[in-house]
Chain A
Amino acid sequence: MTIERNGSMRRAAPADLILERDGLGAGERLWPPLSNRWFLLACRLLLAAVFTYAALQKIGRPLLFADEIRMYGVIDHGPALYLLAIVLPWVELFCGISLLTGLLMRGSALILAVVNVVFIVVIAYRSAAIMNAEGIGLSQVFFDCGCGFGPTYAWKKLIEDTVFFFAALAILSAPGYRLVLATARGRRKG
């Protein structure tokens, strides 16, 4: 039995209904396909795979990652640089595990939404600096973003991170029961 806020009592809610209360639900109201179960599952798996892999490329080599961050010219030196190099890969790893297992999923979706905005901003900033310095267009800007996937074209990375941002946003805004993996249960519930 659970006690509702208004004091009434009802039968213990099944797990999916408890999750439903967690959900922001905005995605479904905005555009129903956004909260399609399979779409959300795909978003989760995509983000989990990408960020777990990226994290594993960086964990254990903080000095290398610090150098890659330094290349952006935003944080040049000092404890902030090294702390970021030590912690960020682990945050990515835990977000990946979270999306895979469903534990603290909204928290990781929120983190990934925020960090991807930061990534987009700093990649755009560095791309602009390279474009100015070398007098080339965005389509030619090519560098190792330190993302864990090796050197690539900046425009590709910008598109990827935009996709990741919206995937994270979809998970964040989906009603909770839509995120439950046990779809058979969901179907039974109608």
Chain B
Amino acid sequence: MKLVRAITQAVLLAAVAAAAAFAYNAVQPNGIDPFRRPAEAPVVDRTLDLPGDGSGEPREGISYISLEELREMLEAGDPVIDARTAGEFEGGHIPGAILCDYYEMGTYFRTVLPRLSPEMRIAVYCSGPLCEDSEMLARELYALGYTDLRVFRGGIEEWTAAGMPLEAGYGEDR
């Protein structure tokens, strides 16, 4: 009987916790739809050397870019998005990058999306070749109507290995 009481309490506690969880999930900006499907986007090319490469021509979908192409985009003033966390961004990011933590995109989209427009070429990066957050974020952006997304797979790892400068803090981003 005593165990039954413990089980009853456990069920009650779990039910209250679940109710609170769903209520909070419904109102907070990073809440998720439990029936969501990961965003999909066509991948133009997974190789870094597209024939006739050059950031000039618009592409439909996600393409991977090299460090060289990223630099061209930076020079051209195209938006470059950092998909890592605020802490990682603060520790050092590509100069001029816009912070948009993939896992808190609901929050960041409020300030980031107004700075983007659908016809822009948008570069996205994260820590390095092993992280997938840049591509995941690019897919989410594609689902929102931004069509030309360029993922710099090398990320911060390749950027620093090439001896490129990092910018610390939040810069003009906050």
Contact = CB atoms under 8 A, between A and B. Distances in A.
A186 interface: no
A61 B104 contact: yes
Contacts of A60: 24, 28, 30
Contact of B9 (A23, A82, A110): A110
Contacts of A95: 13, 17
Nearest to A81: B34
A107 B32 contact: no
B120 interface: no
Contacts of A62: 25, 30-32
A82 B2 contact: no
A61 B10 CA distance: 25
Interface string A3-43: 00000000000000000001111000000000000000000
A82 B103 contact: no
Interface residues of A, number: 35
Given A23-B2, A86-B32, A94-B16, A104 B103 contact: no
Interface string A37-55: 0000000000000000000
A118 interface: no
A134 B59 CA distance: 39
A66 B12 CA distance: 24
A108 B103 CA distance: 29
A82 B18 contact: no
Nearest to B6: A106
Contacts of A86: 21-22, 25, 31-32, 34
10 shortest A-B CB distances, which residue pairs? A107-B9, A90-B21, A64-B103, A107-B10, A82-B34, A94-B17, A106-B6, A90-B17, A91-B17, A110-B10
Interface of B: 2-3, 5-14, 16-18, 20-22, 24-25, 28, 30-36, 38, 102-105
